[in-house]
Amino acid sequence: MGIEDSLVERFENTQIKDDHSPPALDPSDFCFVLEPEFRPKLKHNEFFESPTEQIPVIDLAPIGSGDEEGIRKVIREVGNAAEEWGFFQVVNHGVPASVIDNLEEQAIAFFTLPLEEKKKINRTFEQPMGYYNEELTKNYRDWKEVFDYLVRDQCALPDEHCTTEITIGNQWPQNPSSLRDACEIYAKATEELAFRLLKILSQSLGLPAEHLHQYFEKHISPIRLNYYPVCPIPELALGVSRHKDPSAFTILVQDEVGGLQVRRRDGKWIGVRPRRDAFVINIGAVFQMWSNDRYQSVEHQVVVNENKARLSFPFFFNPVAATNVVPVPELLSENSPARYRPMNYGYFMRKRNDGNFKQDGEDIQIEHFAVNQSS
Ligand SMILES: O=C(O)CCC(=O)C(=O)O
Ligand SMILES: [Fe+2]
């Protein structure tokens, strides 16, 4: 039996026969099926045990305690993890567990609604916040549903042609009526964590704590609620294909199911073991440029499974659209010249967002701005 027949058969077997609402994701849609080289090698719940095969876990307890030695240790650990892995987990982060639990409850209530109900707030090209079940990553359809909202109610982005600015805002569902509240409380708590981490990351590069704050006064950060339904073809598709985040950095909480995998420097894929008490932090494109490649934005992907739906909530901490991202001059020297040309952040985001919608859209990366690359 060919892959296509097998998909159709598996799809028919997993359909709930008396449910007349269409599924949000349909496995017989072949856009989900990855080329063999991109399919996952490890299952969602496969993890390695040795310390070199796990991303570091950093205890943030000393931050805000006045314990100078403890604070220096945190800064060192964050710097090492950002350099070695581009990924780490943080515990004692200051976000109350009840804030996360409440958002999870509301997210489940939303994502388990019939598709037509969710589509009432469907995301569009002009209105990129809201619900969406057709996102592409690197031209493959992701096995996921998302709900996106802005941390700061509104933001300005370049239009499609990058000639004028447009203002975008949030769309909230009527049902469940408490989702908005849960989202806003979560945004406030995680935004504080984002600014704490920004200070730590700046200090870890030897810069003053608030050196980079100027780029975040009107930051254009969205929070995404990712819902990965059970998938009848988990060895052929991915919840999110391998990619690097276009943020400065990302702060993510995941439930206990597992599925996030990170590519280590040597190319090996490593599963991030879920921890209820931790946020996963990863360096994005902007910090890689600011640090002139000292910190790495690394590839990651999400593996889905046949038994249990999964939730994750990334907060993409993005600078204001007008930011011209360049390697921080204070970090450059004759021996360490700038590796990148200036990149307008709004332009970069616009190009990246276009790729989420369009097959064969241009998937722009910071390498396009590397010195010695033609423009
Ligand atoms: O679900 C996850 O754990 C990761 C999601 C992700 O990488 C993304 O949305 O950019
Ligand atoms: Fe990501």
Q: At what angle do helices 68-84 and 179-204 cross, to 10 degrees?
A: 90
Confidence category of residue 27, pLDDT binned at 50, 70, 90: confident
Domain residue extents for the chain: 48-369
Q: 238 CB less than 6 Å from ligand 1?
A: no
Q: Which residue has the tokens 């919840």?
A: 239
| 136-156: average pLDDT | 91
What percentage of the chain exceeds 90 in pLDDT?
77
Residue 312, ligand 1, Cβ within 6 A: yes
Residue 300 Cα, ligand 2 centroid: separation in angstroms?
6
Instruction: Compute, in angstroms, the gap from residue 163 CA to the centroid of ligand 1.
Output: 31
Handedness of CA 84, 88, 91, 94 (dihedral sign): positive
Parallel/antiparallel/unpaired status of strands 154-158 and 165-169 = antiparallel
Distance CA 141, CA 149 (A): 21
Residue 72 has φ and ψ, to the nearest 5°, of: -60, -35
If you compute the radius of gyration of the chain from its CA atoms, what whole number of angstroms results?
20
Ligand number with the minimum distance to the CA of 274: 1
Would you say 86 and 283 are in contact if contact means Cβ atoms under 8 Å apart?
Answer: yes
Could you say which DSSP state residue 287 is in?
H
> Which atom in ligand 1 lies closest to the alpha carbon of residue 280?
3
Q: What pLDDT, on a 0 to 100 scale, did the predictor assign at position 122?
A: 97
Q: Is 356 in the pocket of ligand 1 (CB under 6 A)?
A: no
177 alpha carbon to ligand 2 midpoint, in Å? Answer: 28
Residue nearest to atom 9 of ligand 1 (CA): 314
Average pLDDT in the 346-373 region? 78
| C-alpha of residue 13 to centroid of ligand 2, in Å | 31
Tokens of 307: 């038994």
**Of the listed ranges 25-34, 196-205, 324-333, the one predicted with least confidence:** 25-34
Say yes or no to pLDDT of 152 above 90: yes
The ipTM of this complex is 0.99
d(CA 182, CA 196): 22
Cβ of 352 below 6 Å from ligand 1: no
Q: Is the pLDDT of residue 139 over 90?
A: no
Q: Report how far residue 128's alpha carbon sits from residue 157's, in angstroms, rounded to the nearest whole number.
A: 11
For 130, how many CA atoms within 13 A lie in the half-sphere containing its CB? 20
CATH of domain 48-369: 2.60.120.330
Reference 168, options 180, 145, 147, 152; nearest CA is 152
The structure tokens listed for 208 are: 């003053």
17-31, 225-239, 290-304: which range is least confident on average?
17-31
